Amino acid sequence: MSVYDGFRDDLLATVPSLRAFAVSLSKNADRADDLVQETLVKAWDKQKSFQPGTNLKAWLFTILRNEFYSQMRKRKREVEDSDGAITGRLSVHPAQQGAIDLKDFRKALELLPEDQREAIVLIGASGFSYEEAAEICGCAIGTIKSRVSRARSRLQDILGITGENDFGPDAISAQITSGAFSG
Amino acid sequence: MSYEKPTSRRVAGRRGSGTDPLGANSEIGRKLRQYYDDLVKEEIPDRFSDLLSQLEMQEQAESAEKED
């Protein structure tokens, strides 16, 4: 029997978020679906280790993330990863007055190293706290914080946004720009 | 920007204005959520529901065998 009634339905309800996280990790929809499938099989097999009442979504994200990195290690032996070489030279056009195209944003996000990309997605989009994200990634909360911050600056650089939340000369122009939207 | 619940003001205040790097005033934060929400809204292929049904049936079959 399942670990609790409705375990299957709860797994299924998490699939949309799992897919979104899998796509942001793997940058590939087909691979993402394979990751989600593998995650569901693993979750089913080890469901007895899940404690009902604790965060199922975080538990599943952890399984998916582990699966992604173990697959990546296998692949790396086959094909040398060239992401690092590409990161320096970008084909993304700087944004005009804060109007970033979603496609450009996705391209920029894909240029980030995995650890920074997963951190900013978990915190900025998946709705996890820094504590939960640290648990999912198996690292310290401070590590997540610094990865999110590096990811954000890197995205700002790539997309040509000047530090909108930083104090300093740019803070004034950021206020003017955001003022145009808040009226 | 006025759809937020009253409590969110308190949460924003706790984080400190301008220090939440991915908050509502951040272009990066907004785009990130838009990117992610688009993915979440995608239609889910049947294979996942089918897979779970299969796993469930398999498990039931195995536990039935044990009882014999």
**How do residues A141-173 score in pLDDT, each as one tens digit?**
999 999 999 999 999 999 988 655 544 444 444
Is residue B1 one of the residues assigned to a domain? Answer: no
| Gyration radius from chain B CA atoms | 23
**How do residues A84-97 score in pLDDT, each as one tens digit?**
444 444 555 555 55
For residue A65, which of A113, A131, A18 has the smallest C-alpha distance? A18
Distance (Å) from the alpha carbon of B34 to chain A's nearest alpha carbon: 8
Contact at CB, A165 and B21, closer than 8 angstroms? yes
pLDDT at A77: 74
Q: Provide the b/e sequence for A141-176 (b: ≥16 CB within 10 Å).
A: eebbbebbebbbbbbbebbebeebbeeeebeeebee
Contacts of A70 (CB under 8 A, 6+ apart): none
Looking at domain A92-183, does it have CATH number 3.65.10.10? no
pLDDT at A122: 98
Domain ranges of chain A: 1-78, 92-183
Is residue B58 one of the residues assigned to a domain? Answer: yes
- Same fold? A1-78, A92-183: no
Mean pLDDT lowest among A26-30, A103-107, A122-126, B59-63: B59-63
Domain count of chain B?
1
Contact at CB, B28 and A124, closer than 8 angstroms? yes
Interface test with chain B among A165, A167, A177, A178, by most B beta carbons within 10 Å: A165
Which residues of chain A have a CB within 8 Å of the CB of B1? 182
Over residues A105-128, mean pLDDT: 96
Q: How many CB pairs under 8 A join A and B?
A: 103
Give the one of A16, A44, A178 whose C-beta lies nearest to B40's C-beta: A16
Distance (Å) from the alpha carbon of B61 to chain A's nearest alpha carbon: 11
A3 SS3 class: coil
The answer to whether residue A29 scores a pLDDT higher than 50 is yes
Which residues of chain B have a CB within 8 Å of the CB of A15? 44, 48
Mean pLDDT lowest among A43-57, A95-109, A124-138: A95-109
Q: What is the pLDDT along chain B (68 residues), one digit of tens a residue?
A: 444 444 444 443 344 334 577 876 788 999 999 999 999 999 999 999 999 999 999 988 888 887 66
Query: Is the confidence metric ipTM above 0.85 for this complex?
Result: no
Cα(A179)–Cα(B16) distance, integer angstroms: 19
Cα(A75)–Cα(B26) distance, integer angstroms: 36
Class of domain A1-78: mainly alpha
Give the one of B27, B42, B55 whose C-beta lies nearest to A161's C-beta: B27
Domain that includes residue B17, residue range: 6-67
pTM above 0.90, yes or no: no
